[in-house]
Chain A
Amino acid sequence: MLELYGTKLESRLLLGTARYPSPAVLTEAVRAARAEVVTVALRRESGGERRGEGFWSIIRGLNARVLPNTAGCHSVKEAVTTAHMAREVFATTWIKLEVIGEDDTLQPDPFGLAEAARLLCAEGFEVFPYTTEDLVVAERLLSAGCRVLMPWGSPIGSGRGLNNLFGLTALRAHFPAVPLIIDAGIGVPSHAARALELGFDAVLINTAIAQARDPVGMAAAFAQAVEAGRAARLAGPIEPRDLAEPSTPVIGTAFRG
């Protein structure tokens, strides 16, 4: 079972809540995905204080644990302020920390991220940092007090899957005991299955489901892929080989034709 900051979860599929055709479709997609955690952007949805109340009451009604995020924040100060607001609105110490460093790729700013993580962890937040596959940054985040990491697969919304397999598998091998959730760039269910097969603990999906032609159908497909990937990981995949190895030995059989 997946455990994030002491919370046990059955589902290894976390969902973002942005860019769905409507809140009703979002609600059905969350149900189809059997997701237990949804992330919600405070900054863009609110316009300040409690003005997004209509949307937030829909989010609260999803029957899922809310992981507020700081999407769209470019500085430590913005991210920390947004985290404070999120704690008020959703009454949770969980925060998915995003500090964006570059607008075209929405790539994390590792320096700002580490600093914001340090400040928020010291205040008692349980921080889920959106980071790259960089080992040194990961180390800094863990020493800042993070106990979960959310490395990207590829840039947010790009749908390119796991872009740097070597880096990601190195990260997994380097921190075997830290929950690692692939946070961005997953495009299709096979990407998600691959992430779980490689030993990642969970995936967070937004665009790939929200912008699919049928978000509810895609949510169900992702749920199956995540389950398959996890089951495969537990079942011990074979190692790839360079040469064929017949599954039925042929030497010694009576007839070959």
Chain B
Amino acid sequence: MRVTVIGAGVAGLACALELAERGVSVEVLERGARLGAAGCSWYAGGMLAPWCELESSGPLIAQLGAESIPWWQERFPGAVVNGTLVVAHGRDAPEVAQFAGRTGHFERVGAEAIAALEPDLAGRFSHGLYFAEEAHLDPRAALAALAARLDELGTPVRFGVEVSSAFVGRRHVIDCTGLGARRELADLRGVKGEMLLLHLGELSLARPVRLLHPRIPVYVVPRAEGLFMVGATMIESDEDTRISARSMLELLSAAYALHPAFGEAEIAEIGTGVRAAFPDNLPRLRRRDGTLYVNGLYRHGFLIAPALARRAAAVLLEGRHFPELMNEDPPQRRLA
């Protein structure tokens, strides 16, 4: 079997690798000139946080996400299981209670435990939640690692190739083009996200930290060399326009509220991207005219791409059917 994967974002690369590892002859076509140039994966947070996401996402995402963490660890040494710390300021204590009520796999932590986990946050927060089993990675390094592995397996990504799945001919096609597939998948919509990369040498965090707030919940993910990713907004918009002043203010204020040292940080990068989502914000594997669309990963791209890739490969190679991803309205999709 020969398969063409369209799109070299996290979904496309994971699908291609999953197939190549099973000995399938794969080609990957990407419209962008280089990795990350034309998709939203480049601006992801890279939190592999299935249990935190339960707060707003339902059990399917948690299940796919939990399954994906080992996949990443086996293929990318930069994926580390170091947990997630969730904190809130004193006056936002009800937010912690609500978050705890919706999620799972955490322990409650007080001031001492927070200081032990993140010494630089000592004395700043008196209560929070610690999700020890969650992981994080640097999305850009992770994409590069997947592309490099594909190279080793003889499947280089071909960049700068604009193609619609209808024109690939008689090969099997997996379409992972996100919002690019909008014409074929009319119920897709865009949810814009905005992020910042801050550089700050004097502070270090060992894991992603989420700061709960009734209006502006935000997370800070540590990256190598003193970089911190601060994200991310969720705006119902299809256009990848530049960041708004308001979003910038919100992200910076939240980082500053986590630790005032962020006031001295250098703004290394401002990024925006548009995530593709279906109306229930849950992913789909959808077959249409010989093409298998893997889409609607919403804000969960790195979290669930491996689990979706596995299932896409099983659909293609073994004729499997996954109702929770392939039926339009299965009971698994409904929130509890």
Contacts and interface: CB of A to CB of B under 8 A. Distances in A.
Contacts of B246: 72
Contacts of A72: 246
A157 B274 CA distance: 28
Contact of B235 (A22, A45, A157): A45
B11 to A, nearest CB: 19
Interface string A44-62: 1111100111110010000
B238 A54 contact: yes
Given A25-B335, A54-B190, 16 more contacts: A21-B335, A22-B280, A22-B281, A23-B280, A24-B280, A25-B280, A27-B279, A47-B192, A47-B239, A48-B241, A51-B239, A52-B237, A55-B189, A55-B237, A58-B189, A214-B335
Choose among A22, A27, A47 the residue with the greatest number of B CB atoms under 10 Å from its CB: A47
B244 to A, nearest CB: 7
Contacts of B279: 22-24, 27, 58
A77 to B, nearest CB: 16
User: Ordered nearest first, which 3 A-B pairs have the shortest CB separation?
Assistant: A54-B189, A55-B236, A24-B280
Contacts of A25: 280, 335
Contacts of B280: 22-25
Interface of B: 56-58, 98, 101-102, 188-190, 192, 214-215, 235-239, 241, 244, 246, 277-282, 335-336
A143 B233 CA distance: 40
Contact of A47 (B188, B241, B282): B241
- Size category of the A interface is 20 to 34
B56 A47 contact: no
Given A55-B189, A213-B102, A213-B336, A21 B281 contact: yes
Contacts of A21: 56-58, 281, 335
A163 interface: no
A48 B214 CA distance: 25
Contacts of B235: 44-45, 47, 52
Interface string A188-224: 0000000000000000000000010111100000000
Nearest to A43: B246
Contacts of A48: 241
Q: Majority SS of interface residues in chain B?
A: loop
Nearest to A23: B279
A216 B239 CA distance: 30
A24 B237 CA distance: 17
Contacts of B214: 157
Nearest to B298: A22
18 contacts: A21-B281, A23-B279, A23-B280, A23-B281, A25-B335, A45-B237, A46-B237, A47-B244, A51-B238, A52-B238, A54-B188, A54-B189, A54-B238, A55-B189, A55-B237, A157-B214, A157-B215, A213-B102
Contact of B98 (A24, A52, A211): A211
Contact of B238 (A23, A53, A157): A53
Choose among A23, A53, A157 the residue with the greatest number of B CB atoms under 10 Å from its CB: A23
Contacts of A216: 335
A48 B243 CA distance: 12
B78 to A, nearest CB: 31
B213 to A, nearest CB: 11
A44 B235 CA distance: 7
A72 B250 CA distance: 13
Nearest to B214: A157
Contacts of B101: 213
Choose among B236, B237, B278 the residue with the greatest number of A CB atoms under 10 Å from its CB: B236
Nearest to A106: B215
Given A24-B279, A25-B335, A45 B98 contact: no
A218 to B, nearest CB: 12
A47 B237 contact: yes
Interface string A11-33: 00000000001111101000000
